[in-house]
Amino acid sequence: MHTADHHANLPKSLRFMVIVTSDTIVAAKDKGEPYKDISGDVALSLILSHGFKVTKRIYLPNRIEEILRETKSGTISGSNDAIVIIGGTGLSRRDVSIEAVVPIFEKQIPGFGEIFRRLSYESIGTSAIASRATAGVVNGTLVFVIPGSPEAVKMAMERIILPEAPHLIKMIRG
């Protein structure tokens, strides 16, 4: 099958939910203080610039239960084609996004993490090994877990997620 065949009849408009995991932002929001979410802003502007929709953008603390609950909720209603979880892919104790969602993946997409780390290696060198970025499918919804830095979000969205999401959704839906 040729690439053109793979990319024929792809969905034109996808719906994305964006989850940003950040104890700092959640604490600032809870106190009514100003906060900046550059990574979330980058993700939103790129999604919209591709003609896709953002159904919801939420901020969660780095807690497995909350990340798991919101991810499941975003996949159950069928209101999202993809969920992008920003943050929690590193090696610190607070990095728990992977632990929250990988157990509920019906299918893993190992190529996403492999390509992400390959592209990261080209820009940041061997530090790329510290990223546990991953993707999978939950209830027919794509779930991507990417690092929280604006550069990582931009690279993942522009070079992997947005170009491939329509094709992956078409495959999931048969």
Q: What is the pLDDT of residue 112?
A: 98
Is residue 6 one of the residues assigned to a domain? no
Report how far residue 13's alpha carbon sits from residue 142's, in angstroms, rounded to the nearest whole number.
Answer: 14
Per the structure, how many domains does the chain have?
1
Length of the chain counted residue by residue: 174
pTM of the model as a whole: 0.94
Assign residue 50 the CATH number of its domain: 3.40.980.10
Position of tokens 């992977």? Answer: 98
Q: Which domain holds residue 151?
A: 11-173
The tens digit of pLDDT for each residue in 1-26 reads: 445 555 668 888 999 999 999 999 99
Is residue 2 one of the residues assigned to a domain? no
Is residue 3 one of the residues assigned to a domain? no
Per DSSP, 174 falls in state -
Q: What is the pLDDT of residue 11?
A: 81
Q: What is the pLDDT of residue 3?
A: 52
Report how far residue 25's alpha carbon sits from residue 68's, in angstroms, rounded to the nearest whole number.
Answer: 19
Is residue 40 one of the residues assigned to a domain? yes
pLDDT, averaged across the chain: 95
The tens digit of pLDDT for each residue in 152-164 reads: 999 999 999 999 9
Q: Is the pLDDT of residue 107 over 80?
A: yes
- Mean pLDDT computed over 105-122: 98
The tens digit of pLDDT for each residue in 65-89 reads: 999 999 999 999 789 999 999 999 9
